[in-house]
């Protein structure tokens, strides 16, 4: 036990102290911050420049027009030719000419915009919306409709899923979107960590074998201790990195917001311009989403997530260790041996994405029981409240499978690390399982 602890310590400390680890751990949140800052910058950039627009409206279609954000409108009584002649001195950036409406039933209507400089896409759609609204008002008046009554006609529909058997919790459509997003994030974190840290274990095993340090090590400790020490040590490195990111990435996010003095809702508003989405509706959804995130049972999900992380990590990294011991120094030749590991991981990722769309299908069920898929599929489903017995069954199967795969890999590993200069086949590896200690 003491020796295992020494190995874990070494595997952990040598990696954590490495410059590349420190850089990757700190630069990733910085990259996120930079990415976020660029997005904010581009979103807020255009709107920071005021645009002064003259409106030539001989027919008086537009009664009044208010400024909107950085768009400053001014109704002009002068005619177009006059304005164009004195454009330079007028201080306007552009002139909008609203032509008369000949037939009120026409749905398409073109408005001329005179300017030297081109409009940004979002500004253009903003202006189109504003003028469109004004023309709608004009039409309403011409047709002698009551504007308020017309508003009553607008009905927006949301499909609200209800369970057959009533439960105490009422599911909203936002809830399933939030669950899907959380599911995706969890599934992808699982996928990424299994791959990154699994291959880290594999490379390290290969290095020890090519370095020939392994013979010295095995004259002091059992092969299984060395393998487990490595798996646990690297796993601890992974947890450290993920934990640091879990703290740094959100704090970077808030730092960026503080730095730009930026209101996140402004971004939503900016994004919604041009779409038919109402800003109010959007805000409503955001608050709903926040309550839904709060409603999710994090006290159950977080420990389960950690369990699936550990289960999946032990299962896959032990296989990576076994393959690393068989490959030795020639990665090119041994590439074929990693395929049986990478295929289930990639399949699990694909199934995970399907399972999020149909979280209660039989595919989702079976794949969250099957131990090679469950570490990626089940965490993604957790936010959809799968039945308790499914979770328990999945946990039991995964725990058993992890122990089995660690044991199996240990048997391959103890033989593989001493095999040199031999091209290894699966048949060969199969034989190693039955070698006597």
Partner 1 sequence: MNVLKIENVTKAYDKNVAVNNVSFEMPKGSIFGLLGPNGAGKTSLIRIITTITGADQGTVYLNGEKLNSSHPEQIGYMPEERGLYKKMKVGEHLLYLARLKGLSKNEATNEINHWFSKFEIEDWWDKKVQELSKGMQQKIQFIATIIHKPKLLILDEPFSGLDPINTNLIKDEIDEMHRNGTSIIFSTHRMEQVEEICEYIVLINEGRNVLEGKVKDIKNHFKENIFNIEFEGELPENIDEIATVVKQKSQSITIKLQEGIDSNVLLKKLIKQGVHITAFNEILPSLNEIFIKQVEQSAKPEINNE
Kindly tell me which residue out of 214, 252, 315, 398 binds partner 1, with binding defined by CB under 8 A: 214
The single residue listed with the structure tokens 């040590």 is 233
Between 271 and 433, CB nearer to partner 1: 433
Q: Is 422 in the site for partner 1 (CB under 8 A)?
A: no
Residue with tokens 């800052």: 37
Cβ-based nearer residue to partner 1, 155 or 219 = 219
Each residue 242-271 as x (binds partner 1 by CB under 8 A) or -, in order, gives: ------------------------------
Of 103, 167, 219, 362, which lies in the binding site for partner 1, with binding defined by CB under 8 A? 219
How far apart are CB 382 and partner 1 at their closest, in Å? 40
Task: Note whether 427 binds partner 1 by CB under 8 A.
Answer: no
DSSP state of 68: B
Please state whether beta strands 94-97 and 112-114 pair in parallel, antiparallel, or not at all (unpaired). Answer: antiparallel
Is 421 a binding residue for partner 1 by CB under 8 A? The answer is: no
Backbone angles phi, psi at 120, to 5 degrees: -70, 155
Q: Cβ–Cβ contacts within 10 Å for residue 23, how many?
A: 11
Could you tell me if 348 and 375 are in contact, meaning their C-beta atoms sit under 8 angstroms apart? yes
Q: Looking at 4-12, 34-42, 138-146, 151-159, which segment touches partner 1 (CB under 8 A)?
A: 4-12
x/- track of binding to partner 1 for residues 268-287 (CB under 8 A): --------------------
What backbone phi and psi angles, to 5 degrees, belong to 429?
A: -60, -40
| Burial of 17 (C-beta count, 10 Å sphere; 0-12/13-18/19+) | exposed
Name the residue nearer to partner 1 (CB basis): 22 or 246: 22
Question: What is the token pair recorded at 23?
Answer: 């850089």
Is residue 423 part of the contact set for partner 1 (CB under 8 A)?
A: no
Provide φ and ψ at 274, rounded to 5°. Answer: 95, -30
Q: CB under 8 A: which stretch of 45-53, 111-119, 123-131, 214-222 binds partner 1? A: 214-222
Task: Mark residues 361-390: x for contact with partner 1 by CB under 8 A, - for none.
Answer: ------------------------------
Q: Which member of 41, 109, 407, 435 binds partner 1 (CB under 8 A)?
A: 435
Tell me whether residue 435 is exposed, middle or buried, using C-beta atoms within 10 angstroms of its C-beta: 0 to 12, 13 to 18, 19 or more: exposed
| Part in contact with partner 1 (CB under 8 A); list of ranges 158-166, 169-177, 301-309, 428-436 | 428-436
> Could you say which of 83, 135, 221, 239 contacts partner 1 (CB under 8 A)?
221
- 426 lies in the site for partner 1, by CB under 8 A: no
Q: Look at the block and give the residue holding tokens 């995706």.
A: 184
Q: Assess 213 for contact with partner 1 (CB under 8 A).
A: yes
- Measured at the CA of 216, the angle between CA 211 and CA 217, to 5 degrees, comes to 95
Angle CA 120–125–131, to nearest 5: 125
Closest separation in Å from C-beta 425 to partner 1? 13
Q: Does 433 bind partner 1 (CB under 8 A)?
A: no
375 burial (CB, 10 Å; 0-12 / 13-18 / 19+) is buried
> 300: which residues sit within 8 A by CB, 6+ positions away?
382
Write out the H or E segment, with its range, that includes residue 113: strand 112-114
**Contacting range for partner 1; rule: CB under 8 A; set: 2-10, 140-148, 260-268, 332-340:** 2-10
Chain centroid offset of residue 324 CA: 31
**Which among 372, 425, 414, 58 is positioned nearest to 215, based on CA atoms?**
414
Counting contacts by CB under 8 A, is residue 16 touching partner 1?
no
Size of the site for partner 1 (CB under 8 A): 23
Identified binder of partner 1 from the candidate list 218, 273, 393, 395, rule CB under 8 A: 218
Give the interface with partner 1 as residue ranges (CB under 8 A).
Answer: 3, 6-7, 10, 14, 208, 211-222, 418, 431, 435-437
């Amino acid at each position: 036990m003491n020796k295992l602890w020494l190995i874990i310590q070494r595997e952990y400390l040598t990696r954590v102290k490495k410059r590349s680890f420190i850089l990757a751990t700190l630069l990733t949140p910085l990259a996120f911050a930079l990415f976020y800052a660029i997005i904010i910058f581009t979103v807020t950039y255009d709107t920071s420049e005021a645009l002064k627009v003259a409106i030539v409206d001989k027919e008086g279609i537009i009664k009044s027009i208010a400024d909107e954000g950085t768009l400053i409108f001014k109704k002009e009584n002068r005619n177009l030719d006059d304005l164009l002649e004195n454009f330079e001195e007028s201080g306007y950036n552009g002139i909008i000419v609203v032509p008369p409406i000949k037939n009120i039933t026409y749905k398409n209507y073109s408005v001329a915009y005179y300017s030297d400089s081109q409009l940004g896409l979002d500004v253009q759609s903003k202006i189109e919306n504003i003028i469109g609204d004004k023309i709608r008002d004009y039409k309403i008046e011409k047709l002698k409709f009551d504007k308020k009554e017309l508003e009553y006609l607008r009905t927006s529909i949301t499909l609200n899923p209800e369970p057959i058997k009533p439960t105490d919790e009422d599911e909203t459509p936002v809830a399933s979107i939030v669950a899907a997003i959380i599911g995706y994030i969890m599934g992808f974190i699982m996928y990424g960590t299994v791959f990154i840290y699994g291959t880290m274990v594999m490379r390290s095993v290969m290095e020890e074998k090519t370095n020939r340090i392994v013979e010295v090590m095995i004259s002091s400790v059992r092969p299984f201790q060395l393998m487990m020490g490595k798996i646990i040590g690297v796993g601890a490195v992974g947890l450290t990195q993920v934990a640091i990111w879990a703290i740094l990435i959100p704090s970077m996010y808030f730092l960026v917001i503080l730095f730009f003095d930026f209101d996140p809702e402004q971004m939503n508003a900016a994004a919604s311009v041009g779409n038919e989405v109402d800003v109010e509706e959007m805000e409503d959804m955001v608050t709903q989403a926040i309550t839904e995130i709060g409603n999710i049972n994090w006290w159950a999900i977080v420990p389960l997530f950690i369990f699936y992380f550990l289960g999946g990590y032990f299962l896959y990294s032990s296989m990576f260790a076994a393959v690393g011991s068989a490959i030795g120094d020639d990665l090119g030749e041994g590439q074929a041996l990693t395929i049986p590991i990478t295929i289930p991981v990639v399949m699990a990722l694909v199934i995970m994405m399907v399972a999020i769309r149909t979280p209660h299908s039989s595919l989702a069920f079976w794949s969250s029981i099957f131990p090679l898929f469950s570490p990626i599929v089940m965490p993604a489903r957790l936010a959809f409240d799968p039945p308790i017995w499914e979770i328990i069954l999945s946990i039991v199967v995964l725990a058993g499978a992890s122990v089995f795969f660690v044991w199996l890999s240990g048997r391959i590993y103890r033989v593989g690390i001493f095999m040199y200069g031999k091209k290894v086949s699966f048949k060969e590896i199969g034989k190693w399982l039955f070698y006597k200690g």
